[in-house]
Amino acid sequence: MNNNNSLKNKKIAMIATDGFEQSELLQPKQSLAALGAEVDVVSIDNNQEICGWDVNKWGDKINVDKQVGDITLSDYDGITFPGGQINPDILRANQQVVSLTQKATKEDNIKVIAAICHGPWLLAEADIVNNRKVTSFPSIRTDLKNAGALWENKKVVVDGKLITSRNPDDIPAFVDAIAYQLTH
């Protein structure tokens, strides 16, 4: 998508905490904002900033816009979950995040629930992958299959409002799928 305003008036919550894979939050955030979307970084535990994981070391800190407990799904068009190993593992243990993810599947205004890399762990924890096509980082394939998912090894998999990708190399396809879903 090259229309700089194709996502004007669209609002996305990127839900993350410490240990998010830096490229999987920052690159989609920048790309979606460049298309006109308003993107909020939403976290837990009253974090005012969160620290990324940059391949094999701690990365940059970024500011948090809102807390999970303070957002209303009706204010958003989509939610996304970056990967990394640490971030999704912490988020899937947070009942507020799991509950929000479950509610998002039922909200008509939510057009996208997107997760990349290890992010689909949270989708499995929220019990929303049964009989749904997904992809992920290969190391959690079995976890997703055990949750009933139909796992595919593709750059991006779209099943209804669920959008999943495997790793940082897939970010352009991931962003394109999110943008397409939000505009159609």
Q: Tell me, yes or no, if 118 is annotated catalytic.
A: yes
CA 166 to chain CA mean position, Å: 12
Distance between CA atoms of residues 67 and 46, nearest Å: 6
From 29, 118, 141, 161, the catalytic residue:
118
Distance between CA atoms of residues 88 and 57, nearest Å: 17
From 98, 117, 122, 163, the catalytic residue:
117
DSSP 8-state class, residue 68:
G
CB-side neighbour CA atoms (13 Å) of 123: 40
In terms of residues, how long is the chain? 184
**Which residue reads 């796992």 in tokens?**
151
Q: Which positions are annotated as active-site residues?
A: 117-118
